[in-house]
Each structure stands twice: as C-alpha cells, then as structure tokens.
Structure 1
C-alpha cells in the first residue's frame, strides 16, 4: 500500500509558486513542485507525486524527509558535484602554459613536466591531474622525439652511423 503524506507545508502557496518560477535547476523545480502538490492537496500518496514528476518514490520520500528536518531552504539547496577541489594552483597553470607554448622547450614527457613543477615551484602535482589539464586546456601530446627530429644533435647522430 502506498505511503500517505502527513507532512504539513509551512510556506504559503504564493511563496512556493514564486520560488518555483525563480528556481534555476530542474531538480530544485521538481522539489518545489512536490511541495506545491502537497500544499494544493492534489495528491495524497508519495507514489502519485513521484509518478507525476517522473521520479522514484524513494526520491520523493527523501525530499519530504529532508524538508521536515531542515525546512525549505535546506530542501532547495542542491549539493551535487562531488569533491570539486582545485588540484593545480594558478602559478602551476601559468608555468605549464609557458612551458608548453615555448617552441624551444626540451620537455618530452608529462613526468618531466611534473618534475620541473616540483623543482621550480616546489609543488607536488598528481600525474593524472597534470595529464588531464595539459590534454584538455592545451591540447598537448607530449612524446619522445625520434632521432630524425628537426632538433636532433648531429654529433649524437654520428654514434648511430656505421664507420
């Protein structure tokens, strides 16, 4: 048997409709819409609201529990996105941009770039963060140069030739 709603909505209907129209995301709009349905008395069961909004009953039940615990402001505050902390500092980003855009650079791998950052800036940068930043922001593909590279050393090439 579906769970009947016994929640009392403190906010008035005009306030809820105004907040619904101002809400930027569809998730917060759905949360407010659930409160509007309860306040209007259109739906008696959580499953009916869930079906109307295209959400699961468990989701709507969680919203209503959150509303009863923290109120309207806590319900509409959306905290999704995970741990979105900055890994690279601004100085490291500037340093990377200078090194990758310099045509005379001798960097041939991301590990060398990571070691340069550690030496010059005294920062420890995770390899995958550095790799992702370089590929995404600078479209770089660091590779080891072959002996036929235009920057090759003619003296070093003599070692490979037969006498």
Structure 2
C-alpha cells in the first residue's frame, strides 16, 4: 500500500488551517483537509485517507498532481475547461452551421443531424453528445421556427395577403 505522503507540502499546518477557515465551498475544504491530513501523517495509507474524506483514490492522485505542478492556489480554483472537441473538427462545425442556418435544408431533428454527420463525414457520433454540442454552440432547440417554409411560393403568399 502507498504511504500517505511521498511528496513535500510547502505550507505549514497553521497556514493550511487558516486557509481551511476561509473556504466557502465543501470541495475546496476537502482539498485543504487532504493536504492537512497528509502533512500531519494522520492516516497510515492513502486509501484510509480517501475513505475518511469520501473521495476516490484517483481524485487524490489528481489533486496531488495539481498541487505538485501548480501549487495550492491552482488546487483551490476552478478554471474553465474549454477543451476543443476531438470529434467535431472545425470543418464539421462549419458545415453544421451552414446546414442549421439554411431555411430549405434544415435538419428534421437531432437524429437527422446525427445521420447527416455519419453520411457526410463517416463519423458515428452519439445522439446525446451531438445534441448537447448543437445546443451549446448553436443554441438549437428541438423545435425551432424557420424564417419561411422552404416549399412556400411567393405568388401564393401575395394572393393570401391581399384583402378582399
């Protein structure tokens, strides 16, 4: 079993306890408590520490890595995770945008968009993943009104709007 502390924590226990008092979020409190318990050697193994804090061992590995690479300030902040999609390339994104903004070739639903991406680009994307992507990037809705119907004739519209 791994020993609880196989790296050096630069802050003193007093600094960590003072930092613990100013935390307003439980997830940051757990991170500081993790460092305090490691510094105090309160537990024999990391698994015992994880069980006590109610976290997964993989989580404590991630926290340790973040602490060692970037320090405690990085450990106590949530940076936005704006990762670029590995599935949707800029080319696919551009084509989706064209197709979504087209009034005559719009998608009938998210399932249609999924089939279209599969046919055009040969990429099989899960329905829910593509749905979330389209909502996030294009603000789509399941039923969105079109500017005009693609089968509408201009002459028929003029005849309809004429007053008797």
In the superposition, the TM-score normalised over structure 2's length comes to 0.50
Rg bigger for which structure?
1
In the superposition, the TM-score normalised over structure 1's length comes to 0.50
